[in-house]
Amino acid sequence: MSRNPYVPNTEEDRRAMLRVIGARSVDELFDDIPAQHRDPPLDLPPPLSEIELRRELSTLAARNRPAGEMPCFLGAGSYRHFIPAVVNHIISRGEFATPYTPYQPEVSQGTLQTIFEFQSLVCELTGMEVANAGMYDGASALAEACLMAASIAGRDRIALLSTAHPHCQDVVRTYAAGRGLGVDVMEPEAVALEGGHACLAVQQPNFFGYLEDARSLGEAARANGSLYVVAVDPISLGLFRPPGDYGADIVVAEGQPLGIPMSFGGPYVGLFATRERYLRRMPGRIVGRTRDSEGRTGYVLTLQAREQHIRRERATSNISSNEQLAALAVTVYLCALGPQGLRRVAEHCYRKSQFAAAAIASLPGYSLPLRGTFFKEFVVRCPRPPQTINAALLERGIIGGLDVSHRIENGMLLCVTEMNTRGEIDSLVAALEEIGR
């Protein structure tokens, strides 16, 4: 075995350890792996010096077109919102940036307090009674919500609207397959729940940016004895009623819009909230506030007895650690904005997207194929394939929308947030007009 400067064990140490466990060699410990799969040759270029590596990475990074570099109208699950400087400042503190999941949690009072604040904010935002410390992302939170519903209802089918994000649908299918649960995808106008359906899961606003008829969908779920699971865009809650107001049993969200950069898809954080009566069925952990023997406020990690690192195969979910730093970013973001600030962000998104949609729809060849209220995203039917339009937009220094022509003929899903200026929207409209001719 080659000497590695980062492995402190000597040959003698190794021999002593092997003697204790009764193995002749280190290789013997890997006997279960077929020989041809052990130590496969890695097809890697030779090592680089630090300066060469930096050059290499800079070259690779330069091939990316980051959203901040040019006007961006791409959303579809990952959103460009303004992040106040205080967010990065707070989460960069060493105490927050470096710790791993607290296994001796009560000594980490600062971390526990931030989790407690996070849970409180998620409850306030969603209109629910209890929230956990956060999940991996919005998609896994939705999947966990469906599993939780199956466990509460004692049923083995999940009903999911076809208008939920396709990636989230995939994650739900993956989680469901592992538990032997069936997934039925339904059109919003043709929901047909049966006795076996543990829940109806709905994304609000939906993948195309439009509001579902959340109240009547909830009534359909309730009438069938199914739980009502709602996945929300948290920014939209600055303007719209929280799901707690229209009968949701479990509310989940992708927390990324709340102070987390798009970062090529992660790390993100899932928000997860429910009714108090389901507290014991909730995956993940929760932090409680109490008083110590001297009457001082203390924060404690509770419900972790159901977690994987203690309960292994019988844990409520496979969540062990969580995306704590991302959850902290959400906490700082929401505290920095406050309810009024969040409302203003949501109003900007709403008004600017309505303005952009109306302007685009008035162009020859363009139309809005979907009806109803949308929040910050909408689908435009283009006179040509969206792929062609997007390429032409990029040539003009604009990142266009997502091609959804597999669902809606020549459909492009565009997103407008508070980050898009009037000038950017005007440039987009002008470019689309020119390209559409």
- Which residues of this chain interact with other proteins, rule CB under 8 A? 280, 305-306, 310-311, 314
Cβ closest to other proteins, residue 309 vs residue 422: 309
Largest CA distance in the chain: 81
Work out the number of other CB atoms within 10 angstroms of the CB of residue 401.
26
**Per-residue tokens: 420:** 């898009």
Q: Which of 207, 211, 210, 191 is nearest to 199 (CA)?
A: 191
| Radius of gyration, CA atoms only, the chain | 25
C-alpha to C-alpha distance for 306 and 316, rounded to whole angstroms? 6
Cβ closest to other proteins, residue 285 vs residue 352: 285
Q: How far is the CB of 232 from other proteins (least distance, A)?
A: 29
Cβ closest to other proteins, residue 306 vs residue 381: 306
Q: Looking at residue 420, what DSSP letter applies?
A: S
Q: How far is the CB of 121 from other proteins (least distance, A)?
A: 26
Q: How far is the CB of 117 from other proteins (least distance, A)?
A: 23
Cβ closest to other proteins, residue 97 vs residue 310: 310
C-alpha to C-alpha distance for 46 and 56, rounded to whole angstroms? 13
Q: Which of 246, 299, 306 is nearest to 282 (CA)?
A: 306
Q: How far is the CB of 149 from other proteins (least distance, A)?
A: 17
Q: Are strands 157-161 and 197-204 parallel, antiparallel or unpaired?
A: parallel
Q: How far is the CB of 303 from other proteins (least distance, A)?
A: 9
Burial environment of residue 162 by CB neighbours within 10 A (0 to 12, 13 to 18, 19 or more)? middle
C-alpha to C-alpha distance for 168 and 69, rounded to whole angstroms? 28
Cβ closest to other proteins, residue 37 vs residue 291: 291
Q: How far is the CB of 326 from other proteins (least distance, A)?
A: 27
Cβ closest to other proteins, residue 165 vs residue 306: 306
Q: How far is the CB of 315 from other proteins (least distance, A)?
A: 9
Q: Please report the DSSP string for 197-250 in residue order.
A: EEEEEEEES-TTSBPP-HHHHHHHHHHTT-EEEEEE-GGGGGTSPPGGGGT-SE
Cβ closest to other proteins, residue 303 vs residue 345: 303
Cβ closest to other proteins, residue 106 vs residue 395: 106
Q: How far is the CB of 157 from other proteins (least distance, A)?
A: 23
Q: Show the beta-strand stretches assigned E in 30-165.
A: 130-131, 157-161
Give the total residue count for the chain.
437
